[in-house]
Amino acid sequence: MSESGEGLDASSSGAAKGVTWARRSQVPPFSPAPGIQVQPVIGESLMTCWIAMEPGAVVIEHSHPNEQLGVVVEGSVSITAEGETREMVIGDAYVVPSDMAHSGVAGADGVLLVETFVPIREEYARAWRAVVEG
């Protein structure tokens, strides 16, 4: 993890008050479940993650106090919440309120999401730092 240059700056850890510049190819991923890779960028009050899911990869039903706002940037994913399942494709977005149970299944070509959590999802931050710190 570099301190400067074109890569991921130290401030991505959320520790600094300066601007953060991040390049996805230089953000180490962690894997919270099979077929899923998460690359976070962490600010002071929010965390945005690139979440790449292989075709058919599953996020089992779960909930968390963090509000979650996701945008589909590649592929597709079926999201289930409040008893409803929707196929989300490029250009779709969703907001899952705090503590609402939700699940997801990646489509036939997988999916790349840009998902933001407020407040920062600390278990993700910890899992990522464990990878970064080796």
**Where along the sequence are the contacts to a copy of itself (CB under 8 A)?**
6, 11-12, 17-25, 41-46, 48, 50, 67, 69, 71, 73, 81-82, 84, 86, 88, 91-98, 100, 102, 114, 116, 118
Q: Which is nearer to a copy of itself, 22 or 36 (CB)?
A: 22
In angstroms, the CA 67 to CA 96 distance is 6
Q: Which is nearer to a copy of itself, 12 or 37 (CB)?
A: 12
Shortest reach from residue 33's CB to a copy of itself, in Å: 21
Between the two ends of the chain, the Cα-to-Cα distance in Å is: 11
Q: Which is nearer to a copy of itself, 114 or 127 (CB)?
A: 114
Shortest reach from residue 63's CB to a copy of itself, in Å: 12
Shortest reach from residue 53's CB to a copy of itself, in Å: 17
In angstroms, the CA 46 to CA 73 distance is 19
- Which residues on adjacent β-strands are paired with residue 112? 52, 74
Bridge-based pairing state of the strands 67-81 and 84-89: antiparallel
Give the amino acid at 28.
Answer: P
Q: Which is nearer to a copy of itself, 25 or 134 (CB)?
A: 25
Q: Which is nearer to a copy of itself, 33 or 100 (CB)?
A: 100
In angstroms, the CA 76 to CA 92 distance is 9
Shortest reach from residue 7's CB to a copy of itself, in Å: 10
Q: Quick one: CA dihedral 114, 24, 30, 15, positive or negative?
A: negative
